[in-house]
Amino acid sequence: MNSGDETELLAGLQPIKPLSELFDPRAALCVVKGNLWDFLPTHKLVITTNIGWDPVSKQNNMGAGTAYQAATKWPGLPLWYGKLCASTAPSTPVLEHPDLPLIFFPVKPLLDADDPEISWNQKAQLDLIAKSARQLALIEGQIALTFPGCGNGGLDPSAVYPILCRALDPDRFLIVDSRDL
């Protein structure tokens, strides 16, 4: 190929956009070190959960992380959420509590409809986190969350963060990272 052929070939190509035009820095969510509960006065808080319940008591197992912390503060939450899981599983959506500034965000699906209380005992799933993040994006207001599925769920924040960035508006959502505090 001579230089005339190259010029002709290149003339039909569109220039590549600069990286600054391809990457929107607003798409990055702010991550702050701190305690999620410190944001309660100004933000709704996201509580990561499993889609499960005890068949006898109807309570959701809120035994770790933000779910445990919320259940300690409001002892009626495991029963309230467990009943909702029982009535909406296996596709329990993100749910906003009617009286508290809390949003329940499933990260672990229903494992076994015949044994729903074991749903907590599994790794969080990225596809459920993506679905929950899209639903969370529809809730109004300022919202703070931890890295969902990255505590007892066993996921790495580097796998979860891009999912959250694709779904959530950085003007309304804040990630609070309490690891290593």
What is the C-alpha separation between 50 and 121, in angstroms, rounded? Answer: 9
Per-residue pLDDT of the chain (181 residues; tens, 9 = 90+): 454 544 454 444 444 444 344 334 446 899 999 999 999 999 999 999 999 999 999 999 998 999 999 999 999 999 999 999 999 999 999 999 999 999 999 999 888 888 898 888 899 999 999 999 999 999 999 999 999 999 999 999 999 999 999 999 999 999 999 877 5
User: Does residue 38 belong to any structural domain of this protein?
Assistant: yes
> What are the distances in angstroms from CA 30 to CA 91, 112, 128, 181?
29, 36, 22, 18
17 inside domain: no
**Is 1 within the bounds of a domain?**
no
pLDDT for 28: 87
Q: What is the DSSP string of 123-156?
A: ---HHHHHHHHHHHTTS-S-EEE--TTSSTT---
Query: How many domains does one find in the chain?
Result: 1
Quote the distance between the C-alpha of residue 119 and its chain's center.
Answer: 17
Residue 13: the pLDDT is: 46
Beta strand segments in the chain, E: 30-33, 44-50, 95-96, 102-108, 143-145, 173-177
Whichever domain contains 78, its CATH number is: 3.40.220.10
Q: Which domain holds residue 120?
A: 28-177
Please report whether residue 12 resides in a domain: no
Which residue is associated with the tokens 């939450």?
A: 77
Q: Is there a domain that residue 83 lies in?
A: yes
User: Is residue 21 in some structural domain?
Assistant: no
